[in-house]
Structure 1
Amino acid sequence: MNTETRSKWPKPTDSLPPRLPWKNIYWAWLGGFFAAAMLGITQDLSGFPMIVGSFGASCLLIFAYPNSPLSQPRNVIGGHFVASLTGLVFLNFIGVYWWSMAAAVATAIALMLILRVPHAPAGSNPFIVMMAGAHWDFLITPTLLGSIVVVLIALIHNNIGKDRRYPTYWW
């Protein structure tokens, strides 16, 4: 490796970024718990699927880093919707192949960026949709309704206390 390439890599002695304060970790844990619990309770009461694995990663962003652009309601709901829709289109019109899954994820990324709704956890939704052989109703439940439930919990939880404010923007 030349020196220019090597300098782009961190040294083993470089320090880690600071840990979030314990108070923030507690609030993130509590928010994640309430959001996941509400998804589970809603699923039990309604009989509709409400849980997608990528919602766990959404909870990490929304409750640990609520001011991040990736954590804002339009990004959470819009990103999950666009990515699941992309996966469903590829699944139903192309089929499940390694290259169609790669194209679906790449297309979902591009569409989220074009539409200004990037949400990193939603990037896994095309994989989830295609590997599960999901049907079109996956777009409504769990994707749309589940992401709305998570955001509703965040709207309440992330505004408890005078020093907390969520969201930083809507549209």
Structure 2
Amino acid sequence: MPYLQQLLKSAGMPLPPKPQPSHVILAGIGGVVTVAALALLHGSLELTLLLGSFGASCVLVFGFPESPFSQPRNVISGHVLSSTVGLLFLTLFGPHWWALALAAGLAISVMMATRTVHPPAGSNPVIIFLAQPTWDFLLFPTFTGAIVVVLVAWIFLRSSKRAPYPYYWW
């Protein structure tokens, strides 16, 4: 039992502070507005702008706009780089479990090496291997959708005075 207790022992850090209720509400509304914009554009432009990882991007951008992971550079570049790696591995090696695993690992490394880490984008290779899209996926939904997420966040966070988003652009 002492070994199990030692194994499960945490670093002893306290929970993060509870966010202000207004921040919680604004983050939720920001997510609604962004996903609605993506869905409406998806329906009206006959383009696919919805990507599952964009929901997680909204959590970061609206819930934690001060985080480096939430900045435009990270949101856009992280999504584009991870999708590029996923499409490259799918094209070169086909839909094999090991190619997916390598693509996911390389996407993480590329984002870290380029200082463009955006955790939701780490799921893009998985999405690509499941959907098996063409290279158009890089423009629609990846790049265009990431731009929409950033633009809505910029307008919404500035107008709500929730945060001086972004802290840096590029």
Does the TM-score normalized on the shorter chain lie above 0.5?
A: yes
Q: How big is the shift at 1:14?
A: 7.7
The letter for the 1-side match of 2:97 is W
Q: How does 1:1-150 map onto structure 2 within 5 Å? A: 6=6, 9-10=9-10, 16-150=15-149
CA distance in structure 1 between the partners assigned to 2:109 and 2:13 by the alignment: 33
Instruction: Please give the TM-score of this superposition, normalised by the length of structure 1.
Output: 0.92
Identical counterparts, % of pairs? 43
- Cα distance in 1 between the residues matched to 2:161 and 2:145: 28
Q: Return the letter of the residue paired with 1:112.
A: M
Contact 2:66 2:163 (8 Å CA) reproduced = no
**Matching residue's letter, 1:143:** T
Q: How far apart, CA to CA, are the structure 2 residues paired with 1:112 and 1:2?
A: 39
Gapped regions of structure 1 (runs ≥ 5) = none
The alignment's C-alpha RMSD in Å is 2.2
Greater helix share, structure number = 2
1:140/1:162 CA distance change after superposition, 3 Å: closer
Per-residue Cα deviation, 1:117-155 (whole angstroms, up to 9, x for no partner): 100000000000011111100000000000000100000
Question: Which 5+ residue runs of structure 2 have no aligned equivalent?
Answer: none
Change (3 A) 1:92 1:162: closer
Task: Give TM-score, length-normalised by structure 2.
Answer: 0.92
Q: How many Å separate the matches in 2 of 1:163 and 1:106?
A: 35
Distance in structure 2 (CA, Å) of the matches to 1:128 and 1:95: 14
Q: Which amino acid aligns with 1:165?
A: P
Deviates more, 1:126-135 or 1:155-164: 155-164
The whole-number CA distance in structure 2 between the counterparts of 1:145 and 1:15 is 39
Separation in structure 2 between the aligned mates of residue 140 and residue 161 of structure 1, nearest angstrom: 30
Q: Secondary structure in 1 aligned to 2:159?
A: coil
Instruction: Report how many residues are paired.
Output: 170
Distance 1:28 1:162, change over 3 A: closer
Structure 2 SS opposite 1:66: coil
